[in-house]
Structure 1
Amino acid sequence: MSTVIYWFRSDLRLLDNLSFLLACGESSHIVPVFCHDPSDRALTHWGFERVGVHRRAFLAATLADLAGQLAARGSELIELAGRPQDVLPALARSIGATRIVSEAIAAPDEQDAVQALRTAGLNIDMVWQSSLLEPDALPFSTRRLPEMFTLFRTAVEKADVAPVAPEAYPALIPPLPALPSPLPHRWQDTPHPLPAADVRSSFPYQSVFCAGGTSAGLAHLHQYLDRKLAHTYKDTRNGLTGLDYSSKFSPWLATGALSARTINAAIEQFEDEFGANDSTYWLWFELLWRDYFRFLHLKYGRKLYRHHGLADAGMARPVHDAAQFARWTHGLTGEPIVDAGMHELAATGYLSNRLRQIVASYLIHDLGGDWRAGAAWFESQLVDYDVYSNQGNWLYLAGRGTDPRGGRRFNPQKQARDYDADGAYRALWKTA
């Protein structure tokens, strides 16, 4: 066996990490690596950083937790500064490695980085592991994935497709090889204080129970189930503010600190002990939506990133009005429920699912804005940003995905009456 580089991406965990287990089992030395890509701090086409301050802070906590887990098992997380296609070949040359193992991500930028590494002469083994259900276990190939989520869900449940049990922590992590000193492109982080916590936040990631990393994620999962909140999820999931109205699993799923299989197994154990109901089913339902957006990427790939998405190519290109978009991002549209949501997002890096739909719909359908700019803003701001779900949801609302209804507009006044009848949320977030 040889020296293998394990490239951590959106799977920042040791628990139930299939690709890391593969690398451990097939190497005499393993180098766990994370790359800090400078493009994350660069300005997007729309004029703001691709990864904003809240995402960076949550990622830093997640990496610190991962580094601690590796250190406790006699290894080390090697953090490098630079694009993976630049720094990983340099690392490989310095330690005599020719093979990289990593999780597979079916999104264009992530695939481009892999292709660049292969062009550089490295052997890369990619392992699909981010979905709850295995693609090969579906009752159809991903090429024949149903065009509507309801048809997908019905077929999966009729075929009784179930995830396999999650894997445990690796029993043994192969040691690091001798590393050159200084190590090329070693990340030199300048410690920065966390953004100030806002007492109004529905996900205060600065607190120990909402911090990044597997340790906090598992603590939150067990606390959520111990309090039996899984039995009331369906009734409260459309809430706008507070710690308990939704599961809040998404930040740990997004970074890969927890796997969907780990969460689902815990919910199934809860059902065995305390009983299943509509709410515990609805948690499964939400994990299936997450899977569906992943499988859509396996089916359509880059087509999901065209301005017209999966719609007719003759569909008008969205118009981007920079000044109007800035008013939306800063919560200055004049629509109270929308402005309140945008204030919360900017201040905390989090927003309820209901409000995400309201503010996204407003940009697309009321302001006539470019859905791609909105998707990029969510990518920058959300601590639970997930490339698959973000793209899928914005396409759905814009009428450029698989939904046959041609887009979804949420009337902001009606939404406010239905979900903020007493105006408490709007009063809470009237100012940023």
Structure 2
Amino acid sequence: MSEKTILVWFRNDLRIHDNEILVEAIRKADKVLPVFCFDPFYFRTTQYGTLKTGNFRAKFLIESVQNLRDTLRGLGGELIVRMGDPVQIIPQLAEQYQVAEVYHHREVAFEETNISSKVEAVLWKIKLNLKHFIGHTFYHKEDLPFPIKDIPDVFTVFRKKVERDSDIRPCFETPTAITVPSIADAGEMPTIAQLGLTEPVDDSRAVMQFTGGETEALQRMNHYFWGSDKLKAYKLTRNGLLGADYSSKFSPWLSVGCLSTRQVYWEVKRYEQERGANDSTYWLIFELLWRDYFRFMFKKYGNQFFKAGGFKGEAPEVSANQDELFEKWKNGQTGMPFIDANMRELNATGFMSNRGRQNVASFLVRDLKVNWTRGAAYFEEKLLDYSPASNWGNWAYVAGVGNDPRENRHFNIIKQATEYDPKGEYVKTWLPELKDIPAKLVQTPFALSINELNMYHVQLGVNYPGFIAETTEKILPVKV
């Protein structure tokens, strides 16, 4: 009787813990063939003129795939790495290694599902099955108290019903050994340059230095929960702007699946048993539930989340000179310090706080009146932790064309800046040209007189941008 080989196609599930496709392949096959493809589709220029993957995330991805390979090798296995289109590579490897079946995790955004469909069609022609698994969410789709088409469009309704009527499944066991076929050419890891990008430069002001891979992900979770014991204060600190531990910082690892959301959930439950439950332990789960929600909503509405009108069908008003305004926004040159600081942090590190993201998105859409999809596409390029559902779902939410019951959500940027950066430490970290302005004035340099600006060594339009005129009337009267 011939041996059975199953090909495991890794995508955004770069781990061995809580990984059903790996566990099932090891259980059902004599040999397992793990494969990862660096697909050129994800390293092209989009219709917005942005890259689908910027250099920070590309570096993180390379590190994550290398770590997965190292881990599999430690179990007696291997990871085949290829650069190219999986529509060609997966069937070719399947034939070469006489594979009986191909396993992968189902995605929800239309570009990712389209790639799966193309691979499935080619495999079908050679009489092979592409088996789909669900492994990116807390709640399994089959355990929801409603079909996908009936998922509530308001998060609170969804949350209350799943918390009451659904359970989160236990994690899959972590494999301790893996048997692979004899592999002649496992392939080389690509360099950043081979992906068409430049090596990113580390910035000492970054909240932390993120390194890709499951090993780092589990170490970070252990540090945040157990080593630093910061989980107990998460709800109080989560709106921070500086430093590594004001929030979990799990998102980059979650985005490529180096960390399982379900693993995080059960670790929180263990923490609650050993150190006590409180608002903070619940709130971390609450925030991660949004990830589930957006993935399910993408399943419900498909590519409507990528359109300016979202699934509500009516796009926000846009200004005539949005090209110019967008350039100033993305380069941190708006003259609004809180916005500029956040955008400069993003550009320099690939990361931005949740509080920052909400403010810069609101400012772009509501104050500058730029098409929100341009901002979402820019985040897609720059963010270390980009994932389609969370990114586009959140942008649609802020733009008022997605899952928000309130119309015209509009952040008062100065109020937000003075509340979350009261001493101006964050702004001065990323805008050192404003370092001499007192904390109570640093968020509004455009409101200072020429004499005051001279006293603080600031020249608007010279060493710091003047404020974007279109929004001056609306924002300047706000009392700070």
Take 1:428 and 1:317, find their aligned partners in 2: how far apart are those partners?
34
Amino acid in structure 1 at the alignment position of 2:225: L
Take 1:346 and 1:402, find their aligned partners in 2: how far apart are those partners?
28
1:36, distance to aligned residue in structure 2 (A):
0.6
The one of 150, 153, 160 equivalent to 1:154 is 160
Unpaired runs of 5+ residues, structure 2, are 434-480
CA deviations 1:20-68 (Å, max 9, x no partner) are 2122222222211111111222211122221111101111111111111
CA deviations 1:133-188 (Å, max 9, x no partner) are 112222222221111111111112222x3312212212432312454x6x7xx556
Taking only the aligned residue pairs, the percentage that are identical comes to 38
SS of the aligned residue for 2:123 comes to coil
CA pair 98-325 structure 1, distance change in 2 beyond 3 A: farther
Which residue pairs with 2:173 in the alignment? 168
Amino acid in structure 2 at the alignment position of 1:5: L
Whether contact under 8 Å (2:322, 2:368) holds in the other structure is: no
Q: Choose 19-28 or 130-139, whichever is displaced more.
A: 19-28
Whether contact under 8 Å (1:31, 1:177) holds in the other structure is: no
Which residue pairs with 1:95 in the alignment? 97
1:224-373 pair list within 5 angstroms: 224-226=224-226, 227-312=228-313, 315=315, 321-373=322-374
- Which entry has the higher C-alpha Rg, 1 or 2? 2
Which residue pairs with 2:12 in the alignment? 10
CA deviations 1:319-361 (Å, max 9, x no partner) are 7833322221111111111010000001011110000001111
- Aligned: 1:221 with 2:231: no
1:200, distance to aligned residue in structure 2 (A):
1.2
Which residue pairs with 2:453 in the alignment? none
The one of 141, 149, 155 equivalent to 1:135 is 141
Which residue pairs with 1:63 in the alignment? 65
Whether contact under 8 Å (1:203, 1:350) holds in the other structure is: no
The one of 96, 116, 119 equivalent to 1:117 is 119
Take 1:138 and 1:237, find their aligned partners in 2: how far apart are those partners?
28
Aligned residue pairs, count: 421
CA pair 364-276 structure 1, distance change in 2 beyond 3 A: same
CA pair 37-187 structure 1, distance change in 2 beyond 3 A: farther
SS of the aligned residue for 1:19 comes to helix
Whether contact under 8 Å (2:62, 2:190) holds in the other structure is: no
Take 1:84 and 1:407, find their aligned partners in 2: how far apart are those partners?
42
TM-score (normalizing by structure 1): 0.92
1:318, distance to aligned residue in structure 2 (A):
5.6
The one of 57, 74, 79 equivalent to 2:81 is 79
Whether contact under 8 Å (1:400, 1:407) holds in the other structure is: no
Whether contact under 8 Å (1:318, 1:371) holds in the other structure is: no
CA pair 191-49 structure 1, distance change in 2 beyond 3 A: closer
Which residue pairs with 2:431 in the alignment? 430
Greater relative contact order (CA < 8 Å, ≥ 6 in sequence): 1
SS of the aligned residue for 1:121 comes to helix
1:170-189 pair list within 5 angstroms: 170-179=175-184, 186-187=187-188, 189=190
CA pair 413-316 structure 1, distance change in 2 beyond 3 A: closer
Take 1:354 and 1:188, find their aligned partners in 2: how far apart are those partners?
36
The one of 24, 27, 42 equivalent to 2:26 is 24
Take 2:60 and 2:169, find their aligned partners in 1: how far apart are those partners?
29
Which residue pairs with 1:107 in the alignment? 109
Whether contact under 8 Å (2:55, 2:192) holds in the other structure is: no
Take 2:42 and 2:389, find their aligned partners in 1: how far apart are those partners?
18
TM-score (normalizing by structure 2): 0.83
Q: Choose 273-282 or 321-330, whichever is displaced more.
A: 321-330
**In angstroms, what is the RMSD of aligned CA positions?**
2.0
Take 2:411 and 2:316, find their aligned partners in 1: how far apart are those partners?
21
Amino acid in structure 1 at the alignment position of 2:162: V
SS of the aligned residue for 1:234 comes to helix
Whether contact under 8 Å (1:3, 1:177) holds in the other structure is: no
Which residue pairs with 1:208 in the alignment? none
Whether contact under 8 Å (2:37, 2:86) holds in the other structure is: yes
CA deviations 1:226-278 (Å, max 9, x no partner) are 22211100101111111111111111111100101111111111110111011
1:339-418 pair list within 5 angstroms: 339-418=340-419
Whether contact under 8 Å (1:148, 1:403) holds in the other structure is: yes
Take 2:200 and 2:424, find their aligned partners in 1: how far apart are those partners?
27
Take 2:56 and 2:75, find their aligned partners in 1: how far apart are those partners?
29
Amino acid in structure 1 at the alignment position of 2:132: M
Amino acid in structure 1 at the alignment position of 2:134: W
Amino acid in structure 2 at the alignment position of 1:77: L
Amino acid in structure 2 at the alignment position of 1:23: A
Unpaired runs of 5+ residues, structure 1, are 206-210
1:310, distance to aligned residue in structure 2 (A):
0.9
CA pair 358-317 structure 1, distance change in 2 beyond 3 A: closer
- Aligned: 1:203 with 2:204: no
